[in-house]
Amino acid sequence: MQIIHADIVYSEDREHLASHPDSYIAVENGRVKGIWAVLPEEYANIPVTDYKTGVLIPAFSDLHVHAPQYLNRGLEMDLLLADWLDKCTFPMEARYADTEFAKLAYDAFVDDMIANGTMHACVYGTIHSEATSYLLERMDRKGIKGFVGKVNMDRSAQEDLLEDTARSIRETEEFLEKYSSNCNTKPILTPRFAPTCTRELINGLGILGKKYNVGMQTHLVESMWEAEQARSLFPECSCDTEIYERAGLMDNGPVIGGHFIFPSEDDIRIMQKYDCYAVQCPDATISVIAGIMQTGTLLDKGMKIGLGSDISAGHHIGVYTQAARSVQLSKLKNFYEPEDNRKITFPEAFWMATKQSGQLFGGTGSLEPGSVFDALVIDGLSDAARKLLPEQTVERFCYIGTKHNIKARYLNGAKITD
Ligand SMILES: [Zn+2]
């Protein structure tokens, strides 16, 4: 049992933040036991870790991030998607054939993700099994709850990233076999997106999904270009999402669809039918995709939505920055297309980044009693002339905070010390 004193803030529900100023939280066996303004007598003899002006919040979840592109963050941001893939992304991903290079990059990626308060993540590797295995094992050893995918693509990429279809399926099966019983970081099927996958490949992955009972992450209706490509390459499907549904990829585990910016009614219907997550990646959509998700509308339809850094289409690995950007983008969308596009609130954005997405990883993302205690202490955001309320500190952190404002990190109830 451990007792922590701090201001405590978490999402109560989609619209409301719960705020417990100057309170005590008890953590037992990695889970929150209770929160009190006055410490109960029975805990009087337990030493208290006192963060004084610190605000305790749940750790963040990144539902869409490309680990191999970590080295590209903040570069080539003036290109749009198709050119950016060809000139920036694919040449970098090809370098991960060199596992020693991959180790250097992935060590830095995982460390920076944790430093920025992300304790749960859905991560894309590359087509390379050895490098992607290293990434998964590294995250698993650190205790990160998440999913890592060996990317599949067997058409429309540069020569050294094109897989032979049968080999792609065989290597994916070996990857699933090796890691399916992992406790922290698990494998997930990762067909990159429709333009780079043949029907034969997607059907093969559908068979593996059923056999190993694993879910899928991919990019869905990400741009007008991608949606048109999907329609012309898979003319038998009415929408992008149906390509995966027909292959039986939607009902074996969690399905996480990145971006979901231009969905048809059919895309939305299929995603809701299988309780899938759509992921808004605000920086990425500003920089290389040039489209804005109808976040408010989709939330009102009951869709599950999380946030993604989408390194390196997005440039900042901290998901907290994406909560702020999500609010900003919803206001732009509402200004230019007011019909059916309401602006979202900060509590809604924070909820997407923590409690809503935390459900994917087994009861985390909140500080309610019973939650897995993955948490951060943030501080140093008030002004001498204006002390912020705890919930204001959280909002300001998402807008102007950095990893240096995170004073402590907890994962599975234990403080991270290295
Ligand atoms: Zn992406």
Could you please report the per-residue DSSP string of 360-380? GGSS-S--STTSB--EEEE--
Please check whether residue 360 is in contact with residue 120, taking contact to mean a CB–CB distance below 8 angstroms: yes
On whether both 54 and 144 belong to a single domain, the answer is no
Q: Say how many Å lie between the CA of residue 314 and the centre of ligand 1.
A: 9
Q: Say how many Å lie between the CA of residue 241 and the centre of ligand 1.
A: 16
Domain boundary among the residues 320, 346, 361 is at 361
On whether both 35 and 150 belong to a single domain, the answer is no
On whether both 46 and 190 belong to a single domain, the answer is no
On whether both 194 and 307 belong to a single domain, the answer is yes
Domain boundary among the residues 342, 361, 380 is at 361
Q: Say how many Å lie between the CA of residue 309 and the centre of ligand 1.
A: 9
Q: Say how many Å lie between the CA of residue 291 and the centre of ligand 1.
A: 14
Q: Say how many Å lie between the CA of residue 371 and the centre of ligand 1.
A: 29
Q: Say how many Å lie between the CA of residue 298 and the centre of ligand 1.
A: 20
Domain boundary among the residues 361, 379, 398 is at 361
CATH of the domain at 397: 2.30.40.10
Question: Digits of tens for pLDDT over the chain (418 positions)?
Answer: 999 999 999 999 999 999 999 999 999 999 999 999 999 999 999 999 999 999 999 999 999 999 999 999 999 999 988 899 999 999 999 999 999 999 999 999 999 999 999 999 999 999 999 999 999 999 999 999 999 999 999 998 889 999 999 999 999 999 999 999 999 999 999 999 999 999 999 999 999 999 999 999 999 999 888 888 898 999 999 999 999 999 999 999 999 999 999 999 999 999 999 999 999 999 999 998 779 999 999 999 999 999 999 999 999 999 999 999 999 999 999 999 999 899 999 999 999 999 999 999 999 999 999 999 999 999 999 999 999 999 999 999 999 999 999 999 999 999 998 6
Task: To the nearest 10°, report the CA torsion of 235, 239, 241, 245.
Answer: -60
Q: Say how many Å lie between the CA of residue 75 and the centre of ligand 1.
A: 15
Could you please report the per-residue DSSP string of 49-105? EEEEEEEEEEPEEEEEEEGGGGGGTTSSTTS-HHHHIIIIIHHHHHGGGSHHHHHHH
Domain holding 342, by residue range, is 60-361
CATH of the domain at 246: 3.20.20.140
On whether both 355 and 372 belong to a single domain, the answer is no
On whether both 283 and 369 belong to a single domain, the answer is no
On whether both 74 and 217 belong to a single domain, the answer is yes
Q: Say how many Å lie between the CA of residue 62 and the centre of ligand 1.
A: 12
Q: Say how many Å lie between the CA of residue 219 and the centre of ligand 1.
A: 6
Cα distances from 310 to residues 126, 219, 249, in angstroms, run 14, 11, 22
- In the three-class reduction of DSSP (H, G, I as helix; E, B as strand; rest coil), residue 277 is classed as strand
Q: Say how many Å lie between the CA of residue 204 and the centre of ligand 1.
A: 22
On whether both 203 and 236 belong to a single domain, the answer is yes
| Bridge partner list, 196 | none
Q: Considering the entire predicted model, what is its pTM?
A: 0.98
On whether both 19 and 135 belong to a single domain, the answer is no
Q: Say how many Å lie between the CA of residue 66 and the centre of ligand 1.
A: 6
On whether both 188 and 226 belong to a single domain, the answer is yes
Q: Count other C-beta atoms under 10 Å from residue 403's C-beta.
A: 15
DSSP-derived pairing of the beta strands 2-11 and 17-28 = antiparallel
Q: Say how many Å lie between the CA of residue 329 and the centre of ligand 1.
A: 18
On whether both 312 and 217 belong to a single domain, the answer is yes
Q: How many domains does the chain have?
A: 2
On whether both 191 and 314 belong to a single domain, the answer is yes
Q: Say how many Å lie between the CA of residue 179 and the centre of ligand 1.
A: 23
